[in-house]
Chain A
Amino acid sequence: MTLIPQIIFVIVMAIPTYLIVRRIRQIRGNILRGRPLDRNDNSSERWKTMFLIAFGQKKMFKKPIPAFLHLLIYVGFLVINLEVLEFMLDGLLGTHRLFAPYLGDFYNVAMNFFEFLALGVLISCVVFLIRRNVIKVPRFTKPEMKGWPAMDGNLILIIEIALMIAILKMNAADQVLQSRDVAGYHETGKLMISSFLVPLIDQFDTGLVMLTERGAWWFHIIGIMAFALYVTYSKHLHIFLAFPNTYYSNLEPKGKIQNMDAVTTEVKSMLGMPVEAPPANPDEMGRFGAKDATDLSWKSLMEAYSCTECGRCTAECPANQTGKLLSPRKIMMDTRDRIEEIGNGKEEGKSLLGDYITKEEINACTSCNACTEACPVNIDPLAIILEMKRYVAMEESGSPASWNAMFANIETNFAPWKFAPSDRFKWAEDLKND
Chain B
Amino acid sequence: MSEIKIPTVADMQSKGETPEILFWVGCAGSFDDRYKRVTLAFTKILNHLGVNFAVLGPEESCTGDPARRAGNEFLFQMQAMSNIQLLDGYGIKKIVTACPHCFNTIKNEYPDLGGNYDVVHHTSFLQGLLDEGKLKVAGGDYKGKKITYHDSCYLGRSNGIYEAPRELLQSLDADLVEMKRCKTNGLCCGAGGGQMFKDAEPGNKEVNIERTEEALSTGAKVIASACPFCMTMMSDGVKNKEKEEEVIVKDIAEIIEESLD
Name A residues whose Cβ lies closer than 8 Å to a Cβ of B: 62, 252-257, 259-260, 263-264, 266-268, 270-271, 273, 288-289, 316, 318-319, 321-326, 360, 363-370, 372-373, 386, 388-394, 399-400, 402-403, 405-407, 410-411, 414-417, 419, 421-428, 430-431, 434
Contact = CB atoms under 8 A, between A and B. Distances in A.
B210 A410 contact: no
Contacts of A386: 69, 71
Given A367-B193, A394-B72, A402-B199, A318 B81 contact: no
B184 interface: yes
Given A256-B109, A410-B66, A427-B30, A322 B206 contact: yes
Nearest to B68: A257
Nearest to A401: B198
A342 B109 CA distance: 33
Contacts of B31: 415, 417, 419, 423-424, 427
B75 A407 contact: yes
B108 A253 contact: yes
B71 A425 contact: no
Interface string B193-213: 111111111111111001100
Contact of B200 (A255, A324, A423): A324
Given A406-B197, A416-B197, A263 B207 contact: no
Interface stretch (B155-163, B172-180, B248-256): B155-163
Main secondary structure of the interface of B (DSSP, over half): helix
Interface stretch (B54-62, B125-133, B138-146, B216-224): B54-62
A273 B153 CA distance: 34
B48 to A, nearest CB: 14
13 contacts: A255-B158, A260-B73, A268-B81, A270-B78, A271-B78, A321-B207, A360-B202, A399-B71, A415-B31, A416-B62, A417-B31, A424-B58, A427-B36
Contacts of B195: 366
Interface string B29-68: 1111000100110010000000000010110111010111
Contacts of B112: 259, 264
Contact of B66 (A368, A373, A406): A406
B67 A323 contact: no
A414 B79 contact: yes
Nearest to B209: A322
Given A323-B203, A366-B195, A266 B74 contact: yes
A386 B72 CA distance: 10
Nearest to B193: A367
Given A255-B104, A259-B109, A424 B30 contact: yes
Interface of B: 4, 6, 8, 25, 27, 29-32, 36, 39-40, 43, 55, 57-58, 60-62, 64, 66-75, 77-79, 81-82, 104, 107-109, 112-113, 153-154, 157-160, 184-188, 190-207, 210-211
B210 A322 contact: yes
A353 B222 CA distance: 43
B190 A366 contact: yes
Contacts of A257: 68-69, 109
Contact of B204 (A322, A415, A422): A322
A410 B64 contact: yes
Contacts of A424: 30-31, 57-58, 60
B29 A427 contact: yes
Nearest to B74: A263
A267 B74 contact: yes
Contacts of A326: 201
B14 to A, nearest CB: 16
A322 B203 contact: yes
A146 B208 CA distance: 30
Contacts of A263: 73-74, 77
B203 A430 contact: no
